[in-house]
Structure 1
Amino acid sequence: MTKAVIIYGGHTRKSRLKGVLDRAEKFLSENHFVFETIYVHELPAQDLISANFKSESIIDANAKVAAAEVVIIVTPTYKASYSGILKTYLDLLPQKGFEGKTILPLVLGGSFGHLLVIDYALKPVLSALGARMILKGAFVLDTQIEYVENNQFQIDPLAEERLANVLQLVQEETRCSIPIHR
């Protein structure tokens, strides 16, 4: 079974970003991935802000990333970039923490004016962390996700199609990956 981790860079579990997270988790469950979700905003703030590499919570989160073959990054867009909460955590990953992993960025934003946040803000940092297999990713408008009830979200059909297509890339990539033994 393929191991995956989702890094949730939102500031609450109640925002529309959670709809994107729910969709990613549903995909992983349906396709028999073993996965965990790291809610960055629930890690100790003092450890994130002070870059406490010795924090048990940070060490535990980093171990989840290290064990994963697939990393899905879920983040809102703020000021034409990914969230600061996410950045504080990414700064605490080992220098090559994403080496050998398939990475999928999923971004929520207020307008298509921020569509390039994946390519110009997020991908350079992911590459600096050793990622070489960064999948296309998806940008979803916040207006394309609606809270319905009981912590459930409804995703606009166009956004749902984009998410389904990029999530399918994860399945295809992990099926095609053949370990090279040296």
Structure 2
Amino acid sequence: MKILMISGTYNRQSRTWLMLEEARKHCDTYDVETEIVELCDYAITVGQKDTSHQISELVEKINESEAIIFSTPNYQGSISGLLKVAIDHIPERGLKNKSVGLISVSGGIGNMSQPLSHLRDIVSSLEGLAVATNIACHSDDFIRDEEGKSSISNEKILERVKDMVEELYRHTK
């Protein structure tokens, strides 16, 4: 079984990515193959006509995966533009019967779960199956050490990541 994890942030190794790293640790419990894709490494253009090798590669990775986790920063109460543009390149019915986990990371004031609602609708329109355990977290759920490295400090968030991975595994195996 393979779970593809897609980080929809413009910042490498951000809190959005850190949430996927935590999910990856739990995937090891189930001997699941994982891959984290950082969309900031891709040259993604607006529109369905993008024929770049990178978009084809991303769509192929999605096709080869049994489950997907989307992790996005909360930008203006929604998902990042980078993630939305990447998702727009997924073909119609491109998530058919795939289990999908959803993560949103907020940095400021606002509705932390709103991006999850948007993602849930998008996943449904592509015929994917969003699992019930989704994660909405805030910058307060993280701490930085002396070197500036972030880690997840909220035990409830850590437990939800574990639960989401378990749910993805159960729905996919």
- On whether the aligned pair clears a TM of 0.5, the verdict is yes
Number of residue-to-residue matches in the alignment: 170
Gap regions ≥5 residues in structure 1:
176-182
* Aligned pairs (5 A) from 1:1-182: 2-44=1-43, 47-49=44-46, 51-110=48-107, 111=109, 113-119=111-117, 121-131=118-128, 133-136=129-132, 137-148=134-145, 149=147, 151=149, 153-175=151-173
TM-score by length of 2: 0.88
Deviation at 1:104, TM superposition (A): 0.6
Gap regions ≥5 residues in structure 2:
none
User: Which letter maps to 1:21?
Assistant: L
Equivalent pair of 1:112/1:141 in contact (CA under 8 Å): no
Deviation at 1:14, TM superposition (A): 3.4
Task: Map Cα deviations across residues 112-170 of structure 1 (whole Å, 9 max, x no partner).
Answer: 62323312x11111111121x21121111121022335855233212112222222211
What is the DSSP-based 3-state SS (H/G/I as helix, E as strand, rest coil) of the residue aligned with 2:28? helix
Equivalent pair of 1:19/1:155 in contact (CA under 8 Å): no
Change in Cα spacing, 1:13 to 1:147, as seen in structure 2 (3 Å) is farther
Deviation at 1:49, TM superposition (A): 3.1
TM-score by length of 1: 0.84
What is the DSSP-based 3-state SS (H/G/I as helix, E as strand, rest coil) of the residue aligned with 1:90? helix
Distance in 2 between the 1:155 and 1:18 partners? 15
Task: Map Cα deviations across residues 72-99 of structure 1 (whole Å, 9 max, x no partner).
Answer: 1011111111111100100111111101
What is the percentage of aligned positions where both structures have the same residue? 21
Equivalent pair of 2:93/2:127 in contact (CA under 8 Å): yes
What is the DSSP-based 3-state SS (H/G/I as helix, E as strand, rest coil) of the residue aligned with 2:68? strand
Change in Cα spacing, 1:52 to 1:155, as seen in structure 2 (3 Å) is farther
User: Which letter maps to 1:57?
Assistant: Q
Equivalent pair of 1:16/1:146 in contact (CA under 8 Å): no
Distance in 1 between the 2:102 and 2:172 partners? 16
Distance in 2 between the 1:26 and 1:147 partners? 20
